[in-house]
Amino acid sequence: MPEITLIKSPWEDIFLDLVEQTEEKLLISSPFIKSKPVEKMISAKGVDVSIEYITSFKLMNFYRKSSDFEALNTILKNNGIIRNYQPLHAKVYIFDKKQAIITSGNLTNGGMNTNYEYGVLIKDEKSVASVMHDFYHIFNSNITGKISFEIIENAQKIIQDTPREKEVTFKPLEVEGDENDIFDVGTAPIIENLTGWKLEVFNCLESIEHRFSSAVYIPQKINHFSPHHLEG
């Protein structure tokens, strides 16, 4: 049976310990990437250890700062190869041919520390070999593109020339002190459900200005509005 250990946030220390143990190659699959975790990884790894990394290189990820261009540049500067696979969602970290982490956490501070992430550490070499096979199936596929310094620089220029998104501020929800909730639906849905004398009374009440509102007051124990609530 494969030797599997459950890991959950924070798991950055586990990752860095495994990076230090790596002698030849780090294989990483992570859609999002940030500079600080990459800098820590580079500091922990040996000089001769290479990095092969699959990411999802989407401009929106960088525009919204979910990923950092500098993190990619750092990998390229440190004996790394980066491939782009747009549908990527898997987060996989392989250390030589010996151990692998499969987790929900990206190579970001949130993914390793502040978010609640969950995964497994696999120490069985046969299972790790199977994970590596799947990794290289994507990494070496003709549907992936190679990310270079030039591509990163061009993408940076596009982001710099793109206007920032306008921040939308939502009005805080006001909590009424009254024991009733207010369900403001306007009059149309009410009128559609009234007939006969009830409709005539409702129209009469609506015609009296400044006395009544189109809001419907619903006691907290009532889960839905019904025309019967107008009775009595």
Residues 19, 70 within the same domain: yes
pLDDT in tens, 116-130: 999 999 999 999 999
- The torsion of the CA quartet 202, 206, 210, 214, rounded to 10 degrees, works out to 80
pLDDT in tens, 54-89: 999 999 999 999 999 999 999 999 989 999 999 999
How many independent structural domains does the chain possess? 2
Non-local (6+) Cβ contacts of 223 within 8 A are none
* The pLDDT of residue 61: 93
The answer as to whether 219 is a domain residue is yes
Which domain-ending residue is among 107, 125, 160? Answer: 160
- Mean pLDDT for the stretch of residues 19-33: 97
Residues 154, 188 within the same domain: no
When comparing pLDDT for 192 and 209, which is higher?
192
The answer as to whether 169 is a domain residue is no
The answer as to whether 38 is a domain residue is yes
CATH code (residue 153): 3.30.870.10
The answer as to whether 174 is a domain residue is no
Residues 19, 124 within the same domain: yes
* The pLDDT of residue 168: 65
Cβ–Cβ < 8 Å for 18, 95? yes
Residues 156, 41 within the same domain: yes
Residues 127, 15 within the same domain: yes
Cα gap 139→55, rounded to integer Å: 10
pLDDT-derived band at 11, boundaries 50, 70, 90: very high
Residues 125, 55 within the same domain: yes
The answer as to whether 166 is a domain residue is no
Q: At what angle do helices 35-44 and 12-21 cross, to 10 degrees?
A: 40
* The pLDDT of residue 209: 56
The answer as to whether 90 is a domain residue is yes
Write out the residue range of the structural domain in which residue 221 sits: 180-230
Give strand pairing partners of 182: 217
Residues 193, 108 within the same domain: no
Cβ–Cβ < 8 Å for 94, 27? yes
pLDDT-derived band at 104, boundaries 50, 70, 90: very high
Distances in whole angstroms, Cα of residue 101 to Cα of each of 28, 97, 140, 186:
10, 12, 21, 55
Length of the chain: 232
